[in-house]
Amino acid sequence: MEEGPEPQELMEQVEDNIHARHGEAAEARTSSAEHKARHMRSAITAAILAVLAALGSLLSGHAANDAILLQSKASDQWAYYQAKSTKGHLYEVNKTLVEAFMQMQQPKTAAAQLATGASKPLELLSKEIDSKMKGYDQEKKVVEDKATELSDESTHAFASHELYSFGVACFQIGIVLASVSILVESAPLYFMSVGGGIVGTILLLAGYFR
């Protein structure tokens, strides 16, 4: 008749089983904690990217509105410049006509000129026209500079709008990648989402400090 295991051996086996089960449970808890940590990390990253995307959208819309408004103001200034140019051309035509009348009425001798004084009003009119023309030239220069400045500001605002838009696109791509990395538990996808966020942040800063 075979003898059963000694009590000491039974206790050792029981202890070994207990330790093995505790080890498996600890590994399971560790693995579960790591999964939760990865999921939490990806979820937090997606949330941060969503906030940055919303900020970028606001900046993009504001820059686009500024570009449109500035372009409208520049168009008004160019229209004003054209009006000034038209009036200046009219004064040039008037001066040409006055000079033609002066030549037609010019006395043949100096004595006759002193006697009649017919050209005096035309000379005064010619000087007045010259003064008006110089004034319009100065006003045109001011208006032209203002219109050019507004056009440049509009172009600058539109360029910022484009950078913001590209940044928002990068954030949206990063959000998608972070979400997919949770589903498939892919570390490369997660790091790609972080890269998209970094690129989007750089574009936002470039647009803001442009």
% of the chain surpassing 70 pLDDT = 64
Residue 204 has pLDDT above 90, yes or no: yes
Once rounded to an integer, what is the mean pLDDT over residues 81-87?
78
Better-scored residue on pLDDT, 177 or 16:
177
Sole residue written with tokens 């950078």: 163
How much of the chain is in helix, strand and coil states, percent to nearest 5?
90, 0, 10
Q: Is the pLDDT confidence value at 27 over 80? A: no
Give the amino acid at 118.
A
Q: Give the per-residue pLDDT at 10.
A: 44
| Averaged pLDDT, 36-63 | 92
- Label residue 1 by pLDDT band (50, 70, 90): very low
DSSP class of residue 5?
P
Tokens standing for residue 55: 């900020």
Residue 133 is predicted with a pLDDT of: 72
3-state secondary structure of 4: coil
Contact 193, 181 (CB under 8 A): yes
Look up residue 164 and give its DSSP letter.
H
Q: At what angle do helices 120-184 and 7-105 cross, to 10 degrees?
A: 170
Quote the pLDDT of residue 12: 56
- Band of the pLDDT at 15, cuts 50, 70, 90? low
| Of residues 93 and 163, more confidently modeled | 163
How far, rounded to the nearest angstrom, does the alpha carbon of residue 58 sit from its chain's CA centroid? 10
Alpha carbon dihedral 107, 109, 110, 114, in 10-degree steps, equals: -50
Give the model's pLDDT for residue 32: 72
* Residues 73 and 150 sit within 8 Å (Cβ to Cβ): yes
The confidence band for 184, taking pLDDT boundaries of 50, 70 and 90, is confident
Give the pLDDT confidence of 114-164 residue by residue, as tens digits.
Answer: 445 555 565 666 667 676 777 767 778 888 889 899 999 999 999 999 999
DSSP string, 141-163: HHHHHHHHHHHHHHHHHHHHHHH
Q: Output the DSSP codes for 92-118.
A: HHHHHHHHHHHHHH--SSHHHHHHH-T
Q: Record the pTM.
A: 0.67
Q: Look up tokens 């590209």; give the residue.
A: 166
